[in-house]
Chain A
Amino acid sequence: MKYVIIGNGPAAVSCIDGIRSVDPDGSITVISKEDHPAYFRPLISYYLEGKSKAENIYCRRADFYESSNCGVIHSEAVAIDTDNRSVMLKNGESIPYDRLCICTGSSPFVPPMKGLETVENKYTFLTVDDSFAIEKAITKDSRVLIIGAGLIGLKCAEGLRDRVQSVTVCDLAPRVLSSILDDECAAIVQKHLENCGIGFSLGNTADRFDGNTAMMKDGSEIGFDVLVLALGVRPNIGFFKEAGGACGRAIIVDNEMKTSVDGIFAAGDCVEQYDISFGDKRIMALLPNANLGGYTAGVNMAGGSAEFDNAVPMNSIGFWGLHMMTAGTYANDENAQMIEEKGEKSIKRFFIKNNRLVGFIIIGDVKSAGIYTNLIRTQADISAYDPDALTKNATLLPFGENYRRKTLGGVV
Chain B
Amino acid sequence: MKRVTVHEEWCLGCHLCEYNCAFANSGLADMVKALKNQKITPRIHVEEDGRIHYAVSCRHCEDPICIKGCISGALQKGADGVVTIDHDKCVGCLSCMLLCPYGCITTDENETVLKCELCVKNGDIPACVQGCPNRAIVFEEVQT
Contact = CB atoms under 8 A, between A and B. Distances in A.
Interface of A: 40, 42-43, 46, 51-53, 56-59, 286-288, 291-292, 314-318, 321, 323, 325, 327, 366-371, 373-374, 377-378, 389, 393-397, 401, 404-405, 407-410, 412
A347 B116 CA distance: 28
State the main secondary structure of chain A at its contact with B.
Answer: mixed
Interface in B57-107: 59, 65-66, 68-73, 88-89, 91-106
10 contacts: A56-B73, A286-B69, A287-B70, A367-B106, A371-B103, A377-B101, A404-B8, A407-B59, A408-B54, A408-B56
B111 interface: yes
Contacts of B98: 314-316, 325, 327, 366, 369-370, 373
Nearest to A369: B98
Given A52-B91, A321-B111, A395-B47, A367 B71 contact: no
A338 to B, nearest CB: 20
B73 A287 contact: no
A52 to B, nearest CB: 6
A410 B143 CA distance: 8
B75 to A, nearest CB: 12
A395 B59 CA distance: 15
Given A59-B73, A288-B69, A408-B54, A368 B91 contact: no
B5 interface: yes
Contacts of B96: 370
Given A370-B102, A371-B103, A408 B71 contact: no
A84 B140 CA distance: 55
Contact of A409 (B7, B49, B88): B7
Given A42-B93, A366-B94, A52 B101 contact: no
A40 B100 contact: no
B54 A43 contact: no
B142 interface: yes
B72 A291 contact: no
Contacts of B34: none
A60 to B, nearest CB: 8
A397 B47 contact: yes
B6 interface: yes
Contacts of B94: 316, 318, 323, 325, 366
Identify which of B66, B92, B106 gathers the most chain A CB atoms within 10 Å of its CB.
B92
Given A370-B99, A408-B5, 15 more contacts: A51-B92, A52-B72, A286-B69, A316-B98, A366-B98, A369-B98, A370-B102, A370-B104, A371-B100, A371-B101, A373-B98, A393-B47, A404-B8, A408-B59, A409-B8
Contacts of B72: 40, 42-43, 46, 52, 56-57
Contacts of A46: 72, 91
A118 to B, nearest CB: 36
B56 A366 contact: no
Given A56-B73, A288-B68, A408-B5, A396 B99 contact: no
B120 interface: no
B52 interface: yes
B6 A409 contact: yes
Identify which of B68, B104, B143 gathers the most chain A CB atoms within 10 Å of its CB.
B68
B137 to A, nearest CB: 9
Nearest to B71: A42
A396 B97 contact: no
B69 A51 contact: no
Contact of A395 (B49, B88, B99): B49
Given A323-B94, A370-B97, A287 B8 contact: no
B73 A58 contact: yes
Contacts of A323: 94
B91 A370 contact: no
A412 B97 CA distance: 26
A42 to B, nearest CB: 4
B47 to A, nearest CB: 4
A412 B143 contact: yes
